[in-house]
Chain A
Amino acid sequence: MIKTDVAVIGGGPAGMCAAIEAANAGAKVIVFERNLSLGGQLVKQTHMFFGSQKQYASKRGFDISKILRDQISQNKNITVMTNATVIGMYEDGVLTIEHDNKYKKVLPRATVVATGASEKFLPFNNNDLPGIYGAGAVQTLMNVYGVKPGDQVVMVGAGNIGLIVSYQLMQAGVKVNAVIDAAPRIGGYLVHASKIRRMGVPILTSTTVKTAHGTECVEGVTLVKLDENWKEIPDSEFYLPCDNLCIAVGLSPLTELMWQIGIEMAYVPQLGGYVPKSNKNMQTSRPEVFVAGDASGVEEASSAMVEGRIAGLNAAKFLGFKTTDTDSKLADYFEQADSLRSGPVGEKIRAGLKLAELD
């Protein structure tokens, strides 16, 4: 049995920040990451971040990932186990993991769940044809491995991920035939939308996918216009060729482990689906289990990092590791989280978080 103060499940931006904070407060931390290296989705994010200096504004995601990784490798209180998938979480606090093909048990005194999210899918005819990929898959292929997902793409979803990934596709030399969205308005930031429009890509709202075509791989797609009640308009179908149909319709939190130990959950559409209820300190209905990042509700990378810091500090504090600046740091992180979620763009998230509050 491996023993530690804090176990962090998932080495994305949320998990890395949680580990750093808990370790700096004095706790011994182990990070379990199922991939071969830390970074989570950050490693494929090539755009510059918004926010303030504290949130690494104007740095690119993959550079932020390197900064956090370096801080972790220099921290004596943190052990990183990669190729380590946490497969079970039990009532007595034990975690079971598969590490380098071996089954192991871990007994932490507190746990931070930072497992991230998985991509949502869309129902339409032939939606299982090869060449129909999630936006994250497209990002992974082209930004991490340098492989083009196709030669011409139709992007489904005009939220920030759909818009950003369309831009990244063009940077990689791939043609984007159109960005479509079933909603009557573009969901993402207008700066991103204008940028790709200027590059000649039409953004078609009130439009959805009817059928994908192809035998072994996708070769094209029939799209259809929607009326104000989201009903298909008769005879409005049209065809676009594509060898890659990219689905960017959102993410759902990866919460299986928390279901396993009966943590109180809530269905919150604004946060991507079922999420664990948590308090301001990112503590769940099991007091020794904290949550951060997409696993607690899908937002974006900057808020995932702040949530990670809040969860890590509180996990340490829960175990009695408290330094003179714990409270001032926490106050700062709460303020940063609030500012990231302020204004009209944060409205949906704020409403969602209310529904996920642990009472």
Chain B
Amino acid sequence: MRIEKHPILTFEKGETVTFTYNGTVYSGFKGEPIASALHANGVRTLGHTHDKHRPRGLYCAIGNCSSCLATVNGKPNVRICVEPLTKGMVVTQQNGRGVLKND
């Protein structure tokens, strides 16, 4: 889903890194939002609601609406539409509210 050619824009891309989403390995560009890397890989369903288990994707992509919350490296409720991707990140879909672990 990456744009190959654009009449006016060029996209600065960071180094290619791999990360996992629900255990599957994907690649993306370091520094882009996690949700953008997932979207580029065709992954658009990012979670399910706690009560009715309805699928959730992103909505605003600028960190306002909280529709894209996921667990990143064990930390729940991360807004992955604005959280930059880093090498080796472990991202898991969150079904419901997520669980905070004690350190």
Please list the residues of chain A having a beta carbon within 8 angstroms of any beta carbon in chain B.
34-36, 41, 46, 60, 118-119, 121, 128-134, 136-137, 140-143, 145-149, 171-173, 215-217, 254
CB distance from B83 to the nearest CB of A (A): 10
Indicate if the CB atoms of A133 and B59 lie closer than 8 Å.
yes
Indicate if the CB atoms of B39 and A141 lie closer than 8 Å.
yes
**CB-CB nearest in chain A for B63:** A34
What chain A residues lie within 8 Å of B33 (beta carbons)?
A: 145
Taking each of A128, A130, A132, which has the highest tally of chain B beta carbons within 10 Å of its own beta carbon? Answer: A130
Indicate if the CB atoms of A130 and B11 lie closer than 8 Å.
no
> In whole angstroms, what is the CA distance A148 to B64 when docked?
21
Indicate if the CB atoms of A147 and B82 lie closer than 8 Å.
no
Q: Residues of B within 8 Å of A, CB-based: how many?
A: 34
What chain A residues lie within 8 Å of B25 (beta carbons)?
A: none
What chain B residues lie within 8 Å of A147 (beta carbons)?
A: 1-3, 36, 39-40
Indicate if the CB atoms of A130 and B46 lie closer than 8 Å.
yes
Instruction: Give the contacting residue for B45; candidates A46, A119, A141, A216; CB below 8 A.
Output: A216
Indicate if the CB atoms of B3 and A137 lie closer than 8 Å.
no
> In whole angstroms, what is the CA distance A254 to B64 when docked?
9
CB distance from B49 to the nearest CB of A (A): 8
Instruction: Give the contacting residue for A217; candidates B45, B63, B64; CB below 8 A.
Output: B45
0/1 string, B43-66, CB within 8 A of A gives 1: 011100000001111111111110
What chain A residues lie within 8 Å of B4 (beta carbons)?
A: 173
Indicate if the CB atoms of A148 and B2 lie closer than 8 Å.
yes
Q: When A130-B46, A146-B11, A217-B44 are in contact, do A136 and B63 touch as well, CB less than 8 Å? A: no
**CB-CB nearest in chain A for B65:** A118
> In whole angstroms, what is the CA distance A35 to B59 when docked?
17
**CB-CB nearest in chain A for B31:** A36
> In whole angstroms, what is the CA distance A46 to B11 when docked?
13
Indicate if the CB atoms of B9 and A143 lie closer than 8 Å.
yes
> In whole angstroms, what is the CA distance A141 to B62 when docked?
10
Indicate if the CB atoms of A129 and B55 lie closer than 8 Å.
yes
What chain B residues lie within 8 Å of A136 (beta carbons)?
A: 60-62
What chain B residues lie within 8 Å of A217 (beta carbons)?
A: 44-45, 55, 57
> In whole angstroms, what is the CA distance A114 to B19 when docked?
35
**CB-CB nearest in chain B for A138:** B61
Q: List 28 A-B contacts (CB under 8 A).
A: A36-B84, A46-B8, A46-B9, A118-B60, A118-B65, A119-B60, A130-B55, A130-B56, A131-B44, A132-B57, A133-B58, A133-B61, A137-B58, A137-B59, A137-B81, A140-B61, A141-B36, A141-B61, A142-B3, A145-B32, A145-B40, A146-B6, A146-B9, A147-B39, A173-B5, A215-B55, A216-B45, A217-B55
**CB-CB nearest in chain A for B57:** A130
What chain B residues lie within 8 Å of A140 (beta carbons)?
A: 61-62
Instruction: Give the contacting residue for B1; candidates A121, A128, A143, A148; CB below 8 A.
Output: A148
What chain A residues lie within 8 Å of B62 (beta carbons)?
A: 35, 41, 136-137, 140
Indicate if the CB atoms of A129 and B57 lie closer than 8 Å.
yes
